[in-house]
Amino acid sequence: MSRAPHPRSLLAVAGLSLVLGCEPAADIRGWECLAPANAGGGWDLTCRAVGQVLQQLELAPGLVRTTNLPGAGGGVAYARTVAQRSDDTGLLVAASPSTVLRLAQGQYGSLTETDVRWVGALGAEYGVLAVAADAPWQTLDDLLAAWRADPASLVVSGGSAVAGQDHMKVLLLAHRAGIDPRRIRYVPFDGGGEAMTALLGGFVQLFSGEASEVEGQVEAGRLRVLVSLSPERMRGLFADVPTARESGIDLTWVTWRGFYVPGGIGDEAYDGWVDVLRQVEASEAWEEARRINRLQPFFMVGPEFEAFVMSQVADFRAMSREIGLIP
Amino acid sequence: MTTDRIAGSVLVVAGTLTGLEATTFDVAFMTDPVGPKALPFLVAVMLLVAGVRTIARPRSEVALPPRPVALRMGAAALAFLGYAAILPWIGFFLATTLVVAALAMLYRGPVGGSLAAGMALAGTLWLLFVRILALPLPVGDLWIR
Amino acid sequence: MDSLSHLIDGFGIALQPINVGLAFAGVGIGTFVGMLPGIGPINAIAILIPVTFASGMGAASALILLVGIYYGSQYGNSISTILLNVPGTASSVVTAIDGYAMTKDGRGGPALAMSAIASFVGGTLSIFGLVLFAPVLAGWAIRFGPAEYFALMIFAFSALSSFAGGSLLRALASTGFGLWLAAVGLDPNSAIPRYTFGQIQLLDGMDFVVVTIGLFAVSEVFQLLEDTEGGRSVAASYGRVAVTMKEFTSCGWTMLRGSVLGFLVGVLPGAGGTIASFLSYSTEERFAGRTSRFGRGDIRGVAAPEAANNAAANGAMIPLLTLGVPGSGTTAVLLGALLGLGVTPGPLLLQEEPDLFWGLAASMYVGNAFLLLLNLPLVGVFIKALRVPRWVLIPSVAALAFVAVYAVNGSAFDLVLMTMFGVFGYLMRKFDFPLAPVVLGLVLGPLMEKNLRRAMALSGGEIGVLFDSPIALTLWGLAAASLLAPTLVRRLTTDLVEEAPAAEED
């Protein structure tokens, strides 16, 4: 997985020596982690956290640079990876179900999920549905009973746009619980925090989001989480919250944090990345980084992960058709 | 009077196009009673009202810059666009040096001084943004091997 | 008085040598990166986050550093706004109007000094608010639903006539243009693209930095070229760098009102700082009456928005800490830092992490004092920058604009857009269309549209929901008053000729 000296090094030398005559950074050769969003978002944090671990474990040949390339919900980075970097063996691109969702809905133009190679995921958050502490529903069954009786009586808030992750998870839940997804009233807010504030203010009745978003309010006793969309019960604060499966609804929502790599790098390089992610997962440094980033353990690599992504694409595509979003 | 009438006409055309385009914003399923057309229609009305009134009651003539000055301004705009075109290709340092030098000369700076200013500025900004703030400025494809 | 004893404990933490050092470092970095338009502070904070994690410093110390960058950048930002007409954030666009006019008038020094003083007043007064009312105000932010937000936006737009220069009609056109820009992109409520012309880069909508840098900075490059060729000089002298007592006292009430308004609006997540600065400017413009030089270099036009946007920045700490709601790109990065430091934002934060909250509040006093001490002497230094020959200074501003715009999305496409906005901005000035309403439309338009649509979705199309709460009704009343007041005043005073020749816009 070696690369020619990055041209940036040459120019850096030129620029620096012209101005200061001082030395350039020691080793510019290395890997690049592309975060398809601005600094501070989920993809950016994934890159920075994993990049640091890769350096600590000395798995990377030198530095791991995090580059931010925002635009079109990851579409700009996806397009660039496919079009300009298709055989770059030193490039990782951060991804999550949001990437998959947009691919499923055709929002990356003509590009599809098979244009890149999906390497693996190193951690996850899990979706939750929450109600205000004084809401009449104590369990998911209570809620579903009321919801089935009158689907229009409940309004759901979420932090993502219409047809985004928070909308999709509640649509899938309703669909599997036998409620017509087209009758679900979902109101998008700017981020999970605002969506949750709308619930606290009594403007909506149900909040669809991630576990980490509701922690503070759950601790303060203002919110009640009715269901977690994890495969098994979460640990810690949410240990008492039943999963959807326990309530007889076959749905999990794993907001995994993972990567894809360019499609043209060949099997050998791909297997190399899979191996690298395995070593990261096995390290203590990653366990610590995962804790800091408030991620739950979730590990899946290689063909298993590729199959998982393809099944997510199929699910999302079917649901987007069902509600008439895509033809 | 005519310059203001031109400005008003531009507003009317823009408002009309905005409104026409907005009629195509059809949603497959209703998520809210207002829909995506409301804001664009409001914009169309605002532009049309402002445009029609401007045409009806134009103000005094706007003094356009004389030809040599306009040419210089056009050259500056071209330098900006040229920068966008060559930046990914020749990289930040060279492109910035060139565009700064070009602009400096448009502002009647001496040739040597303009080039020196361009280089110094490009180097400083590179240091500042790439080395210290870690922004990914383009290196350019020119230097690959 | 419980709060005061907590605050004293907080000073115990903030005045530890390490934390004093961190506060100083934070505000120093903040001033510096704040001068770089666009995403300076966000990147500085994002880079320092892993450093604070790795260094093992406590959460309170880390936040003192990172939050220092955040409010410090507000000071730095006004420097490039006032001297170069390059506002880096939406909340400083208003400062550009009178601030840059003062610079062109040879009064850049007093403008900068006044901006530092107003920032200090807004900053420190709002920390009082933070300390005394944080728990209460978290509740007020929660009661602000979509209908209330919509009413607030209408109120904000009613301030428009203050930016009209001479003609409301032209301000209407400018606002329309801004609202059109706001519509560009993927509509979050229906997932359909609007006015994207098939460009994938436009799906995310028009970026504020691209539009503002184009309209203000790039158009200025064209304008100055015309002025230079026409033999007009730009600024007569840069002599005075201090504020006179008369200027200071004229801004006393202005700063006070701006601080209170800024803090209250800042507590609301969203575009707090922008609304606050626009509203405080228009309020002062009306208090000042028709004889003022507002729009042409009135020092109160600098003091009002600067006091308000700094107060708003501090107010924004309340939703961030107690609700986990970030109001801007920079606070979103701070939220990530909080989570990483093991701090869970929530109503219990004040009880569970008193050291963190009160230490942070106390450090903001320390930091603001540093900022004032740092910025006042710097005025003289920065004003000298204007003596650099024109042929060096203007291209430098252009290059800074390029970097800021390119860094937004890492795409040259944005540079093309920026140039188009530059040409457009030049033509708008030429034809006397005001620029500030474009930004008002671009920034507040989405908030207005989204909240109207949310309110209607929640009520099922029942329009009455917009007038349902006391808060909403109050805001509607304020909006009506704001719209009617100038007309009434005009009727009562003189017979102002309609469509009077407009004042110099820049």
- ipTM of the modeled complex: 0.93
- Give the angle subtended at the CA of C320 by the CAs of C315 and C325, to the nearest 5°: 115
C499: in domain:
no
Q: Is A14 on the interface with B (CB under 8 A)?
A: yes
pLDDT (mean) for B85-91: 87
Give me the percent of chain A exceeding a pLDDT of 90: 41
pLDDT beyond 90 at A46:
no
Amino acid at position C295, single letter: G
Q: Is B38 on the interface with C (CB under 8 A)?
A: yes
For residues C265 and C276, the answer to whether their CB atoms sit within 8 Å is yes
C405: in domain:
yes
pLDDT in tens, A53-65: 888 888 888 778 8
Interface residue of A11, A16, A44, A66 to substitute, partner B, most B CBs within 10 Å: A11
In this complex, which of C225, C412, C445 lies closest to B107 when CB atoms are compared? Answer: C225
Question: Total domain count for chain C?
Answer: 1
Structure tokens at A173: 């839940």
| Extents of the domains making up chain B | 2-56, 67-132
pLDDT for C489: 64
pLDDT for C504: 39
pLDDT for B140: 62
Rounded CA Rg of chain B: 23
Give residue for tokens 């301004």.
Answer: B73
For residues A325 and A186, the answer to whether their CB atoms sit within 8 Å is no
Q: Spell out which residues of chain B touch residue C418, defining contact as CB-CB under 8 Å.
A: 80
Contacts of A61 (CB under 8 A, 6+ apart): A1, A2, A29, A30, A31
pLDDT beyond 90 at A93:
yes
- Give the angle subtended at the CA of B138 by the CAs of B132 and B141, to the nearest 5°: 140
Cα distance between residue C271 and residue C90, in whole Å: 9
pLDDT bucket at A101, cuts 50 / 70 / 90: very high
Residue C484: Cβ-neighbour burial (10 angstroms; 0-12, 13-18, 19+): exposed
pLDDT for A10: 34
C498: in domain:
no
In this complex, how many residue pairs, one in chain A and one in chain B, have their CB atoms less than 8 Å apart? Answer: 54
Residues in chain C with pLDDT values less than 50:
236, 495-506
pLDDT in tens, C336-346: 888 778 787 87
H-type helices in C460-469, by residue range? Answer: none
DSSP tally for chain A: helices H, then strands E: 11, 10
User: Is beta strand A206-210 parallel, antiparallel or unpaired with respect to A254-262?
Assistant: unpaired
The domains of chain A, with CATH numbers, are 14-124+255-322 (3.40.190.150), 125-247 (3.40.190.10)
Question: Can you tell me whether residue A228 is helix, strand or coil?
Answer: strand
C67: in domain:
yes
Contacts of B74 (CB under 8 A, 6+ apart): none
Query: For residue A262, which of A93, A20, A56, A69 has the smallest C-alpha distance?
Result: A93
pLDDT for C502: 43
What Å distances lie between residue B13 and A155, B8, B19, C483, CA to CA? 41, 9, 10, 29
pLDDT (mean) for A62-74: 80
pLDDT in tens, A163-201: 889 999 999 999 889 898 888 899 998 888 889 989 998
Give residue for tokens 């790795």.
Answer: C54
Give me the percent of chain B exceeding a pLDDT of 90: 52
Q: Which residues constitute the domain of residue C182?
A: 2-492
Query: For residue A182, which of A211, A138, A203, A152 has the smallest C-alpha distance?
Result: A152
Q: Under an 8 A CB cutoff, do C416 and B84 touch?
A: yes
Tell me how crowded residue A283 is: count the other CB atoms within 10 A of its CB: 16
A106, HSE (Cβ side, Cα atoms, 13 Å): 10
Cα distance between residue C100 and residue C234, in whole Å: 11
Cα distance between residue A30 and residue A90, in whole Å: 7
Q: Under an 8 A CB cutoff, do A20 and B127 touch?
A: yes
Residue C227: Cβ-neighbour burial (10 angstroms; 0-12, 13-18, 19+): middle
pLDDT in tens, C215-228: 998 998 998 888 87
Cα distance between residue C4 and residue C116, in whole Å: 27
pLDDT bucket at B105, cuts 50 / 70 / 90: very high
Q: Under an 8 A CB cutoff, do B113 and C180 touch?
A: no
pLDDT (mean) for A243-259: 91
pLDDT for C233: 55
Amino acid at position C469, single letter: S
pLDDT in tens, A7-28: 333 333 333 333 332 323 333 4
Q: Spell out which residues of chain C touch residue B106, defining contact as CB-CB under 8 Å.
A: 225
Cα distance between residue C347 and residue C352, in whole Å: 9
For residues B10 and C172, the answer to whether their CB atoms sit within 8 Å is no
pLDDT beyond 90 at B4:
no
pLDDT (mean) for A276-291: 90
Query: For residue A105, which of A41, A171, A189, A10 has the smallest C-alpha distance?
Result: A171
pLDDT in tens, C354-376: 888 889 989 999 999 999 999 88
